[in-house]
Amino acid sequence: MSKRQIQAYVLLSLILLTVVALTIINYQDTKQYVIETVDNETNELLKNFTDETNKFSNERVAELELIANYLVLLDGTDEEIIEFLANQRDKMPFFTSLGFINPKGETLAGDGSRFKVNQIESFERALQGEVVFSDLFPLYQDPDQIVTAIRLPVKKGDDVIGVLSGVVNMGNILGSVAKESSLPGSLYLFKEEQLVFSTTDEPFDNRFDYAADIKEQMKVKESGSILVEEDSAHFVMFQRAGADWTVLVDSYTNALDNRISTIFWRNTLVVAVTFLILCGILFYIRRNEVREDNLLKRDLLTNLPNRVVLEEKLKRDLDPTNFKQFTLFFVNLDRFKEINERNGYQIGDRVLFEVSNKIQEFSNRNDLYRVGGDEFVLLVSTQDEEELKTMTTALVKLMGEPLELSTFESIWMTLSLGIRKSELGDWPDLMMQDATFAVQEAKKLGGNRAVFFSQELANQNERARLIANNVVHALHNNEYYMVYQPVYELSTQKIKSFEALLRWESPLIGAVSPIEFIPLLEDNDLIVPVGRWIIRQVALQVKQWENELHDGFHVAINISVKQMMHPDFMNDIKSIIQDVGISPSSLMFEITETVAVQNSELASVLLTELNEYGVQTALDDFGTGYSSLSILKLLPIQHVKVDRSFLMTMENEGEKSQIILQGILDIAKNLGMTTVMEGVETEEQLFLLKEMGAHKIQGFLISRPMVAELAIKLIDQKWTY
C-alpha cells in the first residue's frame, strides 16, 4: 500500500468518524430541542386552558350574581320568574339551563319545566349562603348531557329566598376552545376524579401505564409534570383550576413520535450515504492511482517511456549484483527555446513529436526515453568505441534534412549529444548529471555535435557542483574579500582612483574566479545581499584610508541589474554612507552598457538620484553591447570606461579600429565625460592612448588588483609614464 493510499484511507476514515460524531451530536441536540419545545408548548397550553377554565367559571358566577339581583325585584310569581329566566337564557348562551329553586326544593326552569332539585347537597349549601359548583349530573331536559350547576343564594335583604342555578356543559365550552387552539396533543378536564371532557375518544386510563399514578397525584397536588417517554417527547401535565376542576394535557401525538423517529433515520441515512460516498471516493482514488501510475511512466506527447521508467531501468542495470555495461546518450535539441518563443508552443510540440519519431526509427523504441522538455535519453547496450562513434555520427546527422511540419512549413533542427558510459559503482543521478554536463559542453561549442564525458569533464563538473553548493554559504562564512585595482591618470601621472573587485577564497575549493561564481550569485539572487556587503566593505575601507590621511581619490563599485532594480537599493547606499561617515563623492558606481541599454529608463532615474546625492557614476564595458553612441547623451554619467576589446581589435585590425576608438574618446570628451581605457598591458598602448586623448587607464601595466594594504601604497609611488 502506497503512502498516498494510507493518507487517503486515514483522511476518509477521519471524515467518516467526524460525520458519525456530528450526526450523533445533531440527533441528541435535535431530540433535546424537540423535548424542550414540547415541554414549553405543553406548559403553555396547560396554562392557557387552566386560565380559560378559571375565567369561564368566574364570568359565569358574576353573571348569575347579576341575575339574582334582578330576581328579588320581581313580584315573585312563578310565571314571571320563568319568563325572566327564559329571557336571560337567550342572552347568555353559555348556560345550558337557568332555574330558580325555592326553599322547598322545587325548580322553576327557564324553559317552563318544573322538577325537584337534584344534587341536594349543593342546594343546601347554597341556601346557607355559599356559591357552590355541584357534582356532575345528567341534564333534566336532555339526560345525554352531563352538566354541572353553579348555585348561589338569592337574598332579599338578609333572608335567602331561594337558590339561582345556572347549568353549564364544560365539555362543550372547552371543546370549542380546544378546536380553535389546534391542540397538538390531547386535553382532559376532570371535576375531582371524574372526567368531564376529552378531545380524544381513547379513554384516559388506556393511554399509558402511568394513568392511575397520575390520577393519584392529581388528588394531592395542585400541578404536576411527568415525562412519560423521552424518545417520543411524551409529556403529561396537569394543573388545578379552581377548587374542583383539574385540567390535564397529554402531549403525545403520532406526529411527534414520527418527528423524532424521522430525525433518527434521517441521521442514520446521512451516515450511510457518507459511508457509501467515501467508499466511492476510495474506489475512485484507487482507480486513478492505477491510471496515474501508468501515465507516470509514459510521456503524453510522444508516448515514450519517461524519466520514471528510465530511473527504474538505470537502477536495475547499475545494481552491483546485476551490473550491465551500456552507454547513455543524452540528446538535447539546439535552439528549442527560441523556436517555442518565435513560433509558439504548438509548433514546439510538433517539433518534439517529429524528432522523437526520427530517433525511434534510428534506434529500438524501448531504449529511448523523454526526460524533459527537449531532452531525450537513448540507452545503448554497447561500449565499443567504433560502434559508439558510428552511432554518434549518425545521430548528429539525423537532422540533416529539415522537419516537414506541414505542406507549407518546415524547420531546421540540430542535436547536441552528451555521452556517458556506465561504470561499476555508478548511480542513476550521477550518470544523468555527467551526461547533462557533457551536453552543456557540446552546446558551449556551438551545438550540433557530441561530447563524450571524460575525466577532465568530470573534474570540471565536480568543481562546478562544489562552487554551486558552497557559494550559498560563502557570505555567511566570511569567505569573500575585496581587492582594489588602481586607475592611472595620464595627465598627472598619478593614481587617482581604484576599482573595487570581489574575490572568493573557499576553504574547500580554494580560489574561485569571479567568472565562475558571479553568474551563480546573479542566478540565485544572492547578488543583492553580497552587493550590499561590498558597498559597506568599500565604505569602511575608504574611511580607514581617510583616517590614515589618504584622500583625494574615489573607489568604483560595479552594480548589477538585480541590485539596481531592488527597491531598497538607494536606501541601502544612503544608510551605509551615513553609518560609516564618508563623503558620497568618494564612491563611484559603475553599470555595464548592457544593463544601461536594457533598462535605460530605470538606469537614468537611478543615476540621476545618485548624482544628486553626490555619488559619481560611470558606464562600464562601453562598446561590448549593441548600443549606439547616443547612450552617452541619454545617461547622466561622468565617466566612460571603454572595454579592452577595442585595444585588442585595434592591434589586429589596424587603422579602422583606431579611428573608431578615437571617435569614442572625442565624443565622450566633448560631452564633458572622463574616459577610462581598460585592459592596458603595454607601454606602447599607454603612449598611444595618451596621444589619442584618453584621460585615464586601467590594466596590468599599472597593477593587478591587490589587497587594500598594498593598493594604497601605489598612491605615493613615482610614475614615469
**Which pLDDT tens digit goes with each residue over 277-313?**
878 777 777 777 777 776 778 888 888 888 888 999 9
* C-alpha cell read off for 421: 558510459
CA 130, distance to chain mean position in Å, is 82
Q: Are the beta carbons of 95 and 112 closer than 8 angstroms?
A: no
Q: What is the mean pLDDT of the chain?
A: 84
Lowest mean pLDDT among 166-175, 396-405, 415-424: 166-175
pLDDT (average), residues 460-479: 88
Q: Identify the DSSP state of 298.
A: B
Structure-block grid coordinates of residue 12: 476518509
pLDDT in the model for residue 422: 92
CB 236 within 8 A of CB 251: yes
If you average pLDDT over each of 144-153, 360-369, 591-600, which comes out highest?
144-153
Place of cell 594604497: 712
Q: Assess contact for 517 and 504: CB atoms under 8 A.
A: yes
Determine the Cα–Cα distance for residues 182 and 44; give it in Å rounded to an integer. Answer: 13
The pLDDT confidence band at residue 628, using thresholds 50, 70 and 90, is low
Give the C-alpha separation, 559 to 599, whole Å.
Answer: 13
Q: Regarding predicted confidence, which is higher, 241 or 466?
A: 466
Query: Using 50, 70 and 90 to split pLDDT, how confident is the model at 531?
Result: very high
Residue 411: per-residue pLDDT = 84
Question: Which residues on neighbouring strands pair with residue 410, listed in sequence order?
Answer: 404
Which of 218-222, 536-540, 593-597, 646-650 comes out lowest in average pLDDT?
593-597
Report the range of poorest mean pLDDT among 81-95, 576-590, 680-694.
Answer: 81-95
Predicted confidence at residue 497, as pLDDT, reads 94
Q: Is the pLDDT of residue 254 over 50?
A: no
Whether the CB-CB separation of 95 and 141 falls below 8 Å is answered with no
Q: Which of 258-262, 276-280, 324-328, 455-459 ranks highest by mean pLDDT? A: 324-328
The band of 609, judged by pLDDT with boundaries at 50, 70 and 90, is very high
121-149 tens-digit pLDDT: 888 888 888 888 887 778 777 777 778 88
Q: Which of 101, 84, 102, 90 is closest to 140 using CA atoms?
A: 101
Cα–Cα distance between 295 and 308 in angstroms, integer?
10
Total-model pTM: 0.53
592, 643 Cβ separation under 8 angstroms? no
d(CA 674, CA 492): 14
Q: What percent of the chain has pLDDT over 90?
A: 27
Q: Which contiguous run of DSSP H or E holds residue 419?
A: strand 415-421
Q: What's the sign of the alpha-carbon dihedral 298, 299, 301, 304?
A: negative
> What is the mean predicted confidence (pLDDT) over 560-575?
91
Residue 660 has pLDDT above 80, yes or no: yes
Distances (CA, A) of 685 to 169, 263, 489, 656, 667: 136, 100, 14, 16, 20
Domains and CATH numbers, the chain: 307-453 (3.30.70.270), 469-716 (3.20.20.450)
